[in-house]
A and B are shown apart, each in its own frame.
Chain A
Amino acid sequence: MQAATFLAYLVAAALFITGIRRLRTPETARSGNTLAAFGMIIALVATFLVTDVATPLSWPLIGGGILIGAVIGAVSAQRVPMTGMPQMVAAFNGVGGGCIALVALSEFYQGRAETWVAALTGLLTVIIGSLSFSGSVIAFSKLQELAFSGSVVFPLQQVVNALIFLSILVLSANVLAGGAIAQALGLPFLDPLISVYAIFVASLVLGVLFVIPIGGADMPIVISLLNAFTGLAAAASGFVLENYALLIGGTIVGASGTILTRNMSSALGRPLSKIIFQGIAAAGGGDEDQEEKEVNEASAEEVGSYLKDEAQKVVIVPGYGLAVAQAQGPMYELMELLESEGKEVKFGIHPVAGRMPGHMNVLLTEAGVPYDKLYDMEDINPEFEETDAVIIVGANDVVNPAAKDEEKDTAISGMPILEVENAKKVIFVKRSLSPGFAGVDNPLFYDQDKTMMYFTDAKQGLQDIAEALRNE
Chain B
Amino acid sequence: MEQLLTQIAIFVIAAFLGWELISRVPNMLHTPLMSATNAIHGIVLVGAIIVIATASDAFTLTIGFIAVVFGAMNVVGGFWVTNRMLGMFRPPKPRVMKRKG
Contacts and interface: CB of A to CB of B under 8 A. Distances in A.
B74 A95 contact: yes
A4 interface: no
A353 B12 CA distance: 33
Given A44-B45, A47-B46, A69-B69, A77 B34 contact: no
A30 B86 contact: yes
Place the interface of chain B in its size category: 35 or more
A237 B14 contact: no
A43 B88 CA distance: 29
A371 B75 contact: no
Given A99-B44, A250-B41, A255 B29 contact: no
Contact of A58 (B21, B53, B85): B53
Query: What does DSSP make chain A's interface, helix, strand, loop or mixed?
Result: helix
Nearest to B81: A77
Contacts of B7: 238-239, 242, 247
B44 A359 contact: no
Contacts of A51: 49-50, 53
Contact of B18 (A88, A254, A340, A368): A254
Interface stretch (A15-23, A145-153, A167-175): A15-23
Given A77-B80, A246-B47, A247-B14, A36 B26 contact: no
Given A62-B49, A69-B68, A358-B32, A106 B44 contact: no
A159 interface: no
Interface stretch (A226-234, A387-395, A412-420, A436-444): A226-234
Place the interface of chain A in its size category: 35 or more
Contact of A95 (B3, B19, B22, B73): B73
A92 interface: yes
Contact of A37 (B32, B33, B39, B44): B39
Interface in A93-114: 93, 95-96, 98-100, 102-103, 105-107, 109-110
Nearest to A369: B90
Given A96-B70, A260-B30, A342-B98, A20 B36 contact: yes
Contact of A69 (B30, B35, B50, B71): B71
A55 interface: yes
Interface in B58-78: 59-61, 63-78
Interface stretch (A78-86, A283-291, A424-432): A78-86
Contact of B48 (A17, A102, A251, A260): A102
A26 B90 CA distance: 8
Interface string B1-27: 001100100110011011101111111
Interface of B: 3-4, 7, 10-11, 14-15, 17-19, 21-56, 59-61, 63-93, 98, 100
9 contacts: A26-B89, A33-B86, A68-B72, A69-B75, A248-B10, A252-B21, A255-B18, A256-B37, A349-B27
Ordered nearest first, which 10 A-B pairs have the shortest CB separation?
A69-B72, A73-B77, A255-B18, A358-B30, A65-B68, A252-B18, A357-B30, A77-B80, A77-B81, A251-B14
Given A82-B88, A227-B38, A356-B34, 16 more contacts: A25-B26, A44-B46, A55-B61, A77-B81, A85-B81, A89-B81, A96-B38, A100-B44, A227-B37, A249-B41, A251-B18, A259-B19, A260-B22, A340-B98, A361-B29, A361-B31
Interface of A: 12, 16-17, 19-21, 23-27, 29-30, 32-34, 36-37, 40, 43-44, 47-48, 51-55, 57-58, 61-62, 64-70, 72-74, 76-78, 80, 82, 85, 88-89, 91-93, 95-96, 98-100, 102-103, 105-107, 109-110, 117, 223-224, 227, 230-231, 234-235, 237-239, 241-257, 259-260, 263, 339-342, 349, 351, 354, 356-359, 361-362, 365-366, 368-374, 376
